[in-house]
Amino acid sequence: MSFWAPWTHLYGYALQPGAWIPLLLCAFLYWRGRRALARSPRPGDPTIGPWRAVAFYSGLAIILFAVEGPLNYLANDLFWIHMVEHCLIQMVAALLLLVGAPLLPWWRALPRPWRLAVGPKAQAISHGGPAKKVGHLLRHPAFGLGALAVTFWSWHIPFLFDLALHNGFLHGFELGTLLIGGLFFWSLTVDSFPVRREMTTWPLAGYLVVGTAVMWVVAVSLGFSGHAWYSAYYDLASRPGGISALTDQEWGAGVAWVPAAIPAEILLDITVLQWLRDDERKADAEVELYRSHQANLQEQSTPKDS
């Protein structure tokens, strides 16, 4: 296969409605909701700024590129490209969607009669005991890590991986669950109104490190196994670039080892920098308070002129 094959394959190619229609609907509702928020803001509503909108639309674009672009075409012949597809959806797109904080814009995009009909019932359910228990479970770090591990590990079991590669519906389900697992994992790491990040700096740092270790389990297993796992790639007569099935698998392991961990590393750096900045502000405030206190003591001890 030549370098240009994935691109010429798309010439005259119609995107699958099952992929682009939901993404287009999400983008439209987000745009409509942000407009409504800007025109009639309500007390307590956060500002969904341009940088959040860029993050959200970028997440949608990455999903579309991964499932319908040249990447998806090449993934049929190269395992490492397939791994890039998985990591983009779970570790990049899911994070960007949450940074975009879409829940409030989507809600405000709905017609007002719908919101008036659904809102009170949803609020009553959310304040009920069972809903609170479920919410507490979903917000537990173990659940976020479990969602990431179960989805990423399961779909790289050879039997399930090969089955999904040969079945279009199952492959779509695979990508959908990877996205959901990523959303659960990242939802504990960023503020995405009305969901707030609850973990402090160092628990969050540990959570991110364990999350990257989840990816490393698959990376180490693939990279040091010494044999090709997936018959769908092993049985190919040839692969682009003439690489062997084992080399292809080792490159895929490299993708899960380093590039997949980059979003977590960036978020970890940002979190630590924010902690250092806040710590510096607290120290400056304490120094200023001490100086003010000393100045007051000195003023009180100075005899006044009679």
**pLDDT means over runs of 10, the chain (306 residues):** 49 62 93 89 81 96 87 86 94 95 91 82 71 80 95 94 89 93 94 85 90 93 90 83 89 92 88 76 67 70 59
Determine the Cα–Cα distance for residues 304 and 14; give it in Å rounded to an integer.
89
Residue 5 lies in a domain: no
Cα–Cα–Cα angle for 117, 119, 122, rounded to 5 degrees: 115
pLDDT attached to residue 55: 96
CA dist 36 → 33, 42, 65, 76 (Å): 5, 10, 29, 43
Residue 295 lies in a domain: no
Determine the Cα–Cα distance for residues 177 and 180; give it in Å rounded to an integer.
5
Residue 264 lies in a domain: yes
Determine the Cα–Cα distance for residues 250 and 220; give it in Å rounded to an integer.
9
pLDDT attached to residue 119: 74
Nearest to 216, CA basis, from 269, 246, 157, 260: 260
- How many residues in the chain? 306
pLDDT attached to residue 208: 93
Q: Residue 63 phi/psi, 5° resolution?
A: -60, -45
Residue 291 lies in a domain: no
- Spacing of C-alpha 253 from chain mean position: 20
- Spacing of C-alpha 281 from chain mean position: 30
Residue 3 lies in a domain: no
pLDDT attached to residue 4: 46
Q: Which amino acid is at 150?
A: V
Residue 41 lies in a domain: yes
Residue 99 lies in a domain: yes
pLDDT attached to residue 270: 86
Residues linked to residue 195 through DSSP beta bridges, in sequence order = 192
- The pTM of the full predicted model, rounded to 2 decimals, is 0.84
Domain enclosing residue 21, as ranges: 11-110+139-280
Q: How many domains does the structure of the chain reveal? A: 1
Residue 287 lies in a domain: no
